[in-house]
Amino acid sequence: MCDILIKNAYVITMGSDDRVLRDGAIAIEGNRILDVGSSKEIMTSYDAKEEIDARDMIAIPGLINAHTHIAMCIISRIGRELKDRLYRIYWPMEKAWIPEDCYKAALMGAAEALLFGTTCVVDHYFFMEEIAKATTELGIRGVLGHTIMTEDGPWVGKSEFEEGVNFVKRWKEKHPLVFPCLAPHAPDTVSPDWLEELRKIANEQNVKIHMHLSQSMREVRKVRGPWGRGARSPVDLLHRLKVLGPDLIAVHCIHIDEQDMKLLSQTGTNVVYCPSTYALGGSYANAAKMIESGIRVLIGTDARPADMIGEMRAAAMTQRQLTGNPSAMGFKDLLKMATIDAAEALGLGDKLGSIEKGKLADLILISMKRPHMNPRFDPCANVIYNALGSDVDTVIVDGKIVVKRGSLTKLDVESVVSLGREAARDLVRRATEIDPSLKQLVN
Ligand SMILES: [Zn+2]
């Protein structure tokens, strides 16, 4: 007996044996994968409380978005063609957040992510308690960290530091869907003293550190000045402070040189690549070169929860354009980066990232019924080169069906959108009251 039995699927397991089942089935019991095999084998071995006929569907492990700020789904849709959006739009708008609106925005962001097949978000933001409330309510998994900034940003100071640390203590092993981590903002906004302290706390608490690194020239310039204690670059500063390491999820690494790349590789630091954000903002990062240097690179969408399927494709497109190599970031590698590699980087490789016996049941079914998914010479290649987020039919997180036939099961999508729109309206009103010059930027 099992709770859910998925049958007749094209299963891409992403397991260590790289197994693909053309007519496969998956048995789920509680929050775990009980068995994986051919439809015939599994159907003779198990009766199920609920059966899902996944004919014409691909089953893959749930996608892990390695860097996002889901509540920013609202803010990221403002002033989309402006230069320096972080400083001109994001920070001034973020000053106007109140917890309730952040919760509503996170709910809409989490819904966007889930409906597009993301089962786990690695989220870095202010008011993280509200975001955790939203993610657990909708049933998406989260590696969550409350943003810590010493200066320069919208929410700064010792109280944010304390909240960042307390968030970890409050949520550690408290909820099956939440893995807390520490989230210092970046090397130019968090003082070296605080970074040293946070490294100690991460070691004591045995949690990951998730932070932006080398994301702007403004950051590089500040670190090269008195702030950086003589460091050559932001990567060098983190190296001197012993923050680099396999437990660091370093996001962006746009402005780095050969020496920085060597440091990232030697320390086993993980780097997150967010291709659409860079391309739309007019910049780029050398992700293919980082991979060549031995760095583990993951995929993220940054200031929007967005469509991870589209983001994997954007990664291939941008790196091939940059390198002139049509096989840079192959489709199998991309799927690995968004599943098992991400799980391993998060220290969850034994629990997530592949469809294997004993792992937590986080997986998605993608429909192959529409023309753009046919013919099916290689369904795995079709996922990267042809699929759309809207082809995601079913999403299972922790053994629970959270998206069924393209609809959320826990909350009604229309009410989630209406809450998100309400939060956007209120946030814009408050932000423009604080700073009337923002009015002309809000379109
Ligand atoms: Zn970010």
Count of domains observed in the chain? 2
Per-residue pLDDT reduced to its tens digit, 209-260: 999 999 999 999 999 999 999 999 999 999 999 999 999 999 999 999 999 9
The verdict on 42 and 93 lying in the same domain is no
* Domain region containing 47: 2-61+362-408
Q: What is the CATH number of the domain that holds 43?
A: 2.30.40.10
Residue 282 and residue 37 in contact, taking contact as beta carbons nearer than 8 Å: no
- DSSP result, 318-372: HHHHHH--TTSS-HHHHHHHTTHHHHHHTT-TTTSSS--TTSB--EEEEE--SGG
Written as six digits, the tokens of 305 are 């929860």
What separation in Å is there between the alpha carbon of 356 and the centre of ligand 1?
Answer: 31
Give the domain-ending residue among 344, 372, 395: 344
The verdict on 25 and 162 lying in the same domain is no
Q: What pLDDT is recorded for position 443?
A: 61
What separation in Å is there between the alpha carbon of 205 and the centre of ligand 1?
Answer: 23
Q: What pLDDT is recorded for position 251?
A: 98
The verdict on 169 and 213 lying in the same domain is yes
| Residue 181 placed within a domain | yes
What separation in Å is there between the alpha carbon of 311 and the centre of ligand 1?
Answer: 15
Q: What are phi and psi of 112, to 5 degrees?
A: -60, -45
Q: What pLDDT is recorded for position 419?
A: 98
What separation in Å is there between the alpha carbon of 358 and the centre of ligand 1?
Answer: 33
What separation in Å is there between the alpha carbon of 262 and the centre of ligand 1?
Answer: 23
Distance, CA of 183 to CA of 125 (rounded, Å): 8
The verdict on 8 and 96 lying in the same domain is no
What separation in Å is there between the alpha carbon of 145 and the centre of ligand 1?
Answer: 12
The verdict on 302 and 172 lying in the same domain is yes
The verdict on 50 and 73 lying in the same domain is no
Angle between helices 128-138 and 99-115 (to 10 degrees): 40
List the one residue out of 141, 83, 70, 84 whose CA is nearest residue 303.
70
Distance, CA of 336 to CA of 12 (rounded, Å): 11
What separation in Å is there between the alpha carbon of 178 and the centre of ligand 1?
Answer: 19
Distance, CA of 107 to CA of 62 (rounded, Å): 19
Per-residue pLDDT reduced to its tens digit, 345-384: 999 999 999 999 999 999 999 999 999 999 999 999 999 9
Per-residue pLDDT of the chain (443 residues; tens, 9 = 90+): 999 999 999 999 999 999 999 999 999 999 999 999 999 999 999 999 999 999 999 999 999 999 999 999 999 999 888 888 888 999 999 999 999 999 999 999 999 999 999 999 999 999 999 999 999 999 999 999 999 999 999 999 999 999 999 999 999 999 999 999 999 999 999 999 999 999 999 999 999 999 999 999 999 999 999 999 999 999 999 999 999 999 999 999 999 999 999 999 999 999 999 999 999 999 999 999 999 999 999 999 999 888 999 999 999 999 999 999 999 999 999 999 999 999 999 999 999 999 999 999 999 999 999 999 999 999 999 999 999 999 999 999 999 999 999 999 999 999 999 999 999 999 999 999 998 988 887 86
Cis check for the bond before 371: say yes or no (omega within 30 of 0). no
The verdict on 243 and 320 lying in the same domain is yes
Q: What is the CATH number of the domain that holds 196?
A: 3.20.20.140
Distance, CA of 175 to CA of 415 (rounded, Å): 25
The verdict on 52 and 73 lying in the same domain is no
| Residue 234 placed within a domain | yes
What separation in Å is there between the alpha carbon of 52 and the centre of ligand 1?
Answer: 37
The verdict on 404 and 298 lying in the same domain is no
The verdict on 67 and 56 lying in the same domain is no
Distance, CA of 297 to CA of 290 (rounded, Å): 7
Distance, CA of 48 to CA of 161 (rounded, Å): 48
pTM recorded for the entire structure: 0.98
What separation in Å is there between the alpha carbon of 5 and the centre of ligand 1?
Answer: 38
Give the domain-ending residue among 309, 344, 379: 344
What separation in Å is there between the alpha carbon of 301 and the centre of ligand 1?
Answer: 8
| Residue 235 placed within a domain | yes
439 burial class (0-12, 13-18, 19+ CB within 10 angstroms)? exposed
The verdict on 222 and 317 lying in the same domain is yes
What separation in Å is there between the alpha carbon of 339 and the centre of ligand 1?
Answer: 20
Q: What pLDDT is recorded for position 439?
A: 87
Give the domain-ending residue among 299, 317, 344: 344
| Residue 24 placed within a domain | yes
The verdict on 237 and 377 lying in the same domain is no
| Residue 96 placed within a domain | yes
| Residue 443 placed within a domain | no
What separation in Å is there between the alpha carbon of 394 and the centre of ligand 1?
Answer: 28
What separation in Å is there between the alpha carbon of 306 and the centre of ligand 1?
Answer: 13
